[in-house]
Chain A
C-alpha cells in the first residue's frame, strides 16, 4: 500500500524532562519515518514513552533534541494535518455528540451549514445516526469512542493518530470498533494518508499494522522494527499470525541473562540499575502456580496471556519479576520454570516468604537499602529520605511507585518493616538470620 512518499520523519529525537537539577529521558534518540499509505504501530510496555512520542509527532510537545519533519518541513507547533483519537475519548461532556464533532470544524472556521452536514455525514458513517443529540455520558464506551473517531476524521487529517484507542473499551466493543476502523481505512473511505497507533496490546498491533515499532523502557527507545507482510484481514489463529506474535513476545520478554547482568547494579553505582517491576505479589504467585501445574517443560508466553485473559503488559511484567528472582528462565518467547521456581510454587506460605526473602536480599536495590538502614540511626529511615535517594535516578512519580513496590516486597519478604503512621522504613529485627516461621 505504501507509495513511498514520506510523511513524518524523526531524526535523533529525544525528550528530556527536568525535575530540579536532574534530567530524565522520556524517549531517547528516536529515528523513524512514516510514509503515505502506512499503518504504523508504536508498541511497548507502559512507561516506554510511546505516548510521549505520539505527542511529539503531533506537535503537542516540542522535542528537546533532534528534528521532526512533516512532508519535509520542520514541525512548528501543533501539526494542522494531524488529529488524535484519545484513550479516554476526551469528549466534551457538556456538548452533544453532534456538537462534539462540530466544534472541531468550528475551530477551523467552517460555516454552520457545512459544519452540520459534515458532522451528520460522519456520524452516519461510524454508525451513530440517531444519537446526534445524545450526550457522551448517555453512550456506551464503544459508542463514545466512535464519536472520538468521527471528530478526529471530521477535520480530514492526513495523519490519524490513535492513542490506545481501544484500551478503555470492553473486549467486544473494541473488537467491533477495530473491524470498523480497518474497513474505513482499507476501503479508502477516509482521506487519511497514514495511521499511527500507540498500543501496548500485542495482538491488536499485529492484527492491524503494516509495521510495528517496538519500544523498550528506561529510557524509552526503539528496540526493534517488524514489518508485517500479511494480507488483511488477518486471522488470529493462523500459524503465520501466531508466529508473528511469538516473535514479538520474544523481543519484548528478551532472553534471560547471567545473574549479574540480570539483577543489575545498585542505585548510584556504575552500570544499569535494575528497578523492580510494578506487580502484586499475589499475581506472581498465581503465575508460578499456573506454570507448575502444566506438564510442559516450556510455556508459550502468548499462551499465558490467553490462559489468564490478562493484559500482555501485565504478563510480561510478571515474567520479568519471576526472571529477576530466578524463578523462571526466558528465551524465544517461551518461559520455563527453574527448580527454585518449582520449589517456591509448591512450598507453604511461610517457606515461600523465606525463599522470597533470600531472593530479594540478592537484589542490589535491596542490598543498597539494607545497607543504608544499617548505617542509619535506630536502623530506620524516613520514607522521604529514601524517596529522595531514589529520585536521584528516577523522575519523582516513578520514584514514588518504585518505593511503594520496594516496601511491598520488603514487607512480604519480612526484610524491612514499614510504619504507615510515621512513614518510617525500618530493618526487620531478624535481619541476617534465617528463622523458619514465627
Chain B
C-alpha cells in the first residue's frame, strides 16, 4: 500500500496555524485570478472546438495526445521542482515563499481556477493553443508543489556528515548534485512524481473539455472523448474510452513507475538490508538485457567527460555549511516592492469588481457554500461507512490485502472526472439525478484515499496489542472502541483531509452540466462558478471562485488541522 506514504508525510510538515504568509499567498492568488478575469473580458464570445470522433480507432491518437499533455506538464513541474527546491534550500527568501504557497495550494481546489485560466488565456492567444496551455498550466499547478516540497525537504534534511564529507573531499556543485543530493532525494521525488501523475489525470480529464454557453473548449484527448461519448449516449464508446484510459494508466505504471521505484531502492539511506524489495518485471528485463549494458557503458563514458568538464569550469568552491548566504538585498527588496504594488493594485481592482456583485448574488454564493459543503460531507460520510469496515477487514488479513491490492489500485487509478460523464448518462433522467451524480463523483474521488488509509492504519496496529485485546476478552464493540478506532483516527483524518480537498474540486465539474443539449444545474458553489463563466458574469465568477478558495482553506485550518494535531499527539502508535 505504497500510495499512502506521500500524504501522511506531507501533512506532518504543514500543521501550522494561520499566518500572515498565508494571507499573502491568498492575496497573490486573488491578484492572479483578477488578472485572469480582466483578460477574460476580452475572451471571444463563441468558441468552436474540434470535432471529437468516437471511432475506437481514434483512441490511440487521443491517448497519445493526453499522455503528451501530461508529460509536458510533468516535465515543466520537474524542472521547476529541481530549480526552485534547490533555491529554497539555499536561500531563506525562496523558502519563505515556498512553504506557505505549498501549504495553501495543497488545500485550494485547483479546478476552480480552470474557467478563469481558460478565459484569460483565450483572450490573449488562439483558442486551441489557449486550451492546450490552460490544461498544462492546471496540471502543473496541481502536481508541482508536493514534488518541489519533497525535493526541498530532502535537500534540507541531508545528513550533516554526508554534506561535510562532500565538502572535505572537495566536490564541486555538479558532483554534489550528482553524487549526493539527487541520489538522496530520488526516492521522495519518484514517489511524489507518482502521486502527482495520478492526481494529474483527474485535472486532465476535466481540463480537456470545458463547455459553457457558446464557448466550447475542447482538446483532442481521452477526457474529451469520454465526455463526447456520454454526450451522445454511446455506451460502447464509453467502455472503449474507459478501457483505454485504464490501459494507459496501467501501462505507465508497469513500464515507467514500477521500474523507477525498483531502481530507486538503491538510494535508500538505511544501512540495513531490507527484507522486502520493490520489484518490477520490466526493470528486471531491462537490467538483464544486452542493450542496457551498452547504454550504461556509454553513459559512463559521457558522464565521465561531463564531470571532468564541470570540474574544469567550476572548480570546488568551499561552502560554509553552518551559514546560509544572503545576497542581493536591494534587488530582492526592489522585486518585492514591485510585486507588492502589483498585487495591491490587482487586489484593489478585484475589490472594485467584487463591489458589482449584488446582494442577492452574495446570498446565492452563501447558499452555494452550504449546499456544496453538505454534498462534500455527505460523500465523506458515505465513504467512511463502507471503507472503515472493509478496510479493517482487509488490513487484518494480510493475505487478502496482498491479493486485493492490485485490484484496488487499478480501481483507484481511474480519475473520478473520467467516470463523471458516465454517471450523468446513467442518472440524468432521474429526478435529483445530478445531485446524486455529483455526490457519486465526489465519492469516487474520495473513497480510495480513505480506504488506503484505513488499511494502512489497521496494519499499523501492533500484533501484541491485538493479542492483548483478545486475551482481555473484550467484545466486538469494546475492541473497536479501545483499540481499532483510536488506532485508525490519525489515518482517517489524513485520508479525510485529502478526500475533502478532492471533493471540493469535483463540485466544479459536477454541479453544472451541459448534457444532450440541455443544461443541468444543482445549487452549489461549483455551479455558480460554471454558470457565471457561461454567462460571462465576471464579477460573480471572481466572487464565487474566491469564496470557494477561502472556504476550503478555512475549513482546512479550523477543522482538519486541529483534528490532525489531536490525532498526531494523542493517538499515535509509537
Contact = CB atoms under 8 A, between A and B. Distances in A.
B167 A90 contact: no
A318 to B, nearest CB: 28
Contacts of A421: 569-570
Given A94-B267, A137-B270, A137-B273, A78 B167 contact: yes
Interface in B220-250: none
Contacts of B393: none
B167 A106 contact: no
Contact of A92 (B180, B270, B322): B180
Interface string B271-297: 111000000000000000000000000
Nearest to A93: B269
A93 B175 contact: no
A366 interface: no
B322 A78 contact: no
A34 interface: no
A78 B168 contact: yes
Interface in A69-94: 76-78, 80, 82-84, 86-88, 90, 92-94
B161 to A, nearest CB: 4
B169 A93 contact: no
Interface string B90-116: 000000000000000000000000000
B514 interface: no
Nearest to B320: A62
A84 B170 CA distance: 12
A109 B266 CA distance: 26
A189 interface: no
A84 B273 contact: no
B296 to A, nearest CB: 14
A60 interface: yes
B196 interface: no
A387 to B, nearest CB: 17
B318 interface: yes
A87 B180 contact: no
Contacts of B159: 88, 90
A115 B474 CA distance: 67
Contact of A83 (B168, B266, B272, B307): B168
Nearest to B182: A94
Interface centre among B168, B169, B270, B316 (most CB of A within 10 A): B168
Interface in B169-200: 169-172, 175, 179-180, 183
B430 interface: no
A94 to B, nearest CB: 4
B558 interface: no
A90 B161 contact: yes
A155 interface: yes
Contact of B172 (A78, A90, A107, A144): A107
A83 B172 CA distance: 16
Interface string A170-182: 0000000000000
Interface string B313-324: 000101011100
Nearest to B175: A107
A155 B267 CA distance: 25
Contact of B168 (A17, A60, A62, A136): A60
B311 A107 contact: yes
A116 B165 CA distance: 20
B267 A93 contact: yes
Size bracket of the A interface: 35 or more
B466 interface: no
Contacts of A93: 266-271
A106 B307 contact: yes
A135 B267 CA distance: 11
Contacts of A80: 170
B304 interface: yes
A137 B304 CA distance: 25
Nearest to A108: B170
A90 B270 contact: no
A304 interface: no
Interface string A296-318: 00000000000000000000000
B308 interface: yes
A135 to B, nearest CB: 7
Contacts of B180: 92
Interface centre among B175, B307, B318 (most CB of A within 10 A): B318
A94 B183 contact: yes
A155 B322 CA distance: 24
B55 interface: no
B214 interface: no
B17 to A, nearest CB: 14
Contacts of A83: 168-169
Q: In terms of DSSP, what is the predominant structure of the interface of chain A? A: loop
Contact of A84 (B168, B269, B272): B168
B370 interface: no
A78 B170 contact: yes
A8 B169 CA distance: 19
Interface centre among B268, B271, B318 (most CB of A within 10 A): B271
Contacts of B171: 103, 107
Nearest to B164: A60
A88 B164 CA distance: 12
A63 B268 CA distance: 35
A138 interface: yes
Contacts of A103: 169, 171, 175, 179
Given A94-B183, A94-B267, A84 B164 contact: yes
A92 B273 contact: no
Contacts of A61: 320-322
B40 to A, nearest CB: 48
A86 B321 contact: no
A60 B569 CA distance: 38
A151 B165 CA distance: 10
B320 to A, nearest CB: 6
Given A88-B161, A90-B159, A107 B316 contact: yes
A55 interface: yes
A95 B179 contact: yes
B440 to A, nearest CB: 41
Interface centre among B169, B266, B311 (most CB of A within 10 A): B169
B162 interface: yes
A58 interface: yes
A287 interface: no
A92 B162 contact: yes
B162 A87 contact: no
B271 A84 contact: no
A137 B268 CA distance: 10
A155 B165 CA distance: 12
A219 interface: no
A59 B319 CA distance: 10
B304 A112 contact: yes
Contacts of B162: 90, 92
A104 interface: yes
Given A87-B161, A107-B316, A60 B272 contact: no
A109 B308 contact: yes
B356 to A, nearest CB: 48
A86 B162 CA distance: 9
A84 B162 CA distance: 11
Interface centre among B180, B308, B322 (most CB of A within 10 A): B322
Nearest to B168: A84
A82 B266 CA distance: 30
A228 B272 CA distance: 40
Interface string B133-169: 0000000000000000000000000010110110111
Nearest to B300: A112
Nearest to B161: A90
Contacts of B175: 103, 106-107
Interface in B450-475: none
A276 to B, nearest CB: 26
Given A108-B170, A112-B304, A138-B273, 16 more contacts: A59-B318, A60-B167, A61-B322, A83-B169, A84-B164, A88-B159, A90-B164, A92-B183, A93-B269, A93-B270, A107-B171, A107-B172, A109-B308, A109-B312, A135-B266, A155-B169
6 contacts: A83-B168, A92-B179, A93-B270, A103-B171, A136-B271, A137-B270
